[in-house]
Amino acid sequence: VANLKGTIKLDGVQLGLVGEIIKLFKQKGSRPMAMNFLRASEEHLKQHCIDLKDHPFFPGLVKYMNSGLIMVMVGEGLNVVKTGRVMLGETNPGDSKRGTIRGDFCIQVGRNSTHGSDSVKSADKEISLWFKPEELVDYKSCAHDWVYE
């Protein structure tokens, strides 16, 4: 069991996809541990996207992500990072298969509605950037034994 840090970006929030995306992750066995709606500061976003800082689109990405409300969340589940990446689809929605979040709900790379950690290591780093340890709610769902062996 691992954790995944995900973000529903401004376009996903504005398009009303928050509930749909959470529902899809829960249906795949992910258990929500923390969620927060916020407007992130430019500095916070620069830290979050630090691995993209050398790309020409970096300033525009930070400016866009700072321009409105986002939803950050943590989910826990078996293979949740790998499963989450498949569920999101390709970074470019045009390359994403039908049945993925980006394939079904998005059109352009710059408005691909979601972010998900690409590894357990990056998930741990991102979770610590967005949440304090006491904000992560650890509990066992009553459906746990019906989902997992």
112 labeled part of a ligand binding site: yes
Check the annotation: does 111 bind a ligand: no
Cβ-Cβ contacts under 8 Å for 28 (sequence gap 6 or more): 77, 83, 87
DSSP calls for 51-96? GGTTSTTHHHHHHHHTSS-EEEEEEEETTHHHHHHHHH--SSGGGS
Q: Is the dihedral of CA 104, 110, 111, 117 positive or negative?
A: positive
Is 5 annotated as ligand-binding?
no
48, 55, 115, 144: the active-site residue: 115
Q: Is 44 a catalytic residue?
A: no
Contacts of 113 (CB under 8 A, 6+ apart): 8, 9, 11, 12, 15, 17, 21, 101, 102, 105, 106
Flag whether 102 is marked binding: yes
Do the annotations mark residue 31 as ligand-binding?
Answer: no
* 7 marked as part of a ligand binding site: no
Give the residue numbers annotated as catalytic, written as ranges: 115
- Binding-site annotation: residue ranges for ATP: 9, 57, 85, 91, 102, 112
Residues flagged as binding site: 9, 57, 85, 91, 102, 112
